[in-house]
Amino acid sequence: MSYYVYIASNQWHSVIYTGVTNNIYRRMDEHRNKKRKGFTKRYNVNKLLFVEEFSNINDEALTAEKKIKGWTRVKKFKLIRSINPKLNDLWDSSLRSE
The domain that contains 56 carries what CATH number? 3.40.1440.10
Share of the chain above pLDDT 90, in %: 87
* Residue 88 forms part of a structural domain: yes
> What domain count does the chain have?
1
CA-CA distance, 48 to 4, in Å (whole number)?
A: 12
pLDDT tens for residues 9-46? 999 999 999 999 999 999 999 999 999 899 999 999 99
18 in Cβ contact with 69 (< 8 Å): yes
Alpha helices in the chain (DSSP H): 24-32, 39-42, 62-69, 73-83
* Residue 75 forms part of a structural domain: yes
* Residue 19 forms part of a structural domain: yes
* Residue 15 forms part of a structural domain: yes
CA-CA distance, 95 to 45, in Å (whole number)?
A: 17
Q: How confident is the model at residue 95 (pLDDT cuts 50, 70, 90)?
A: low
* Residue 98 forms part of a structural domain: no
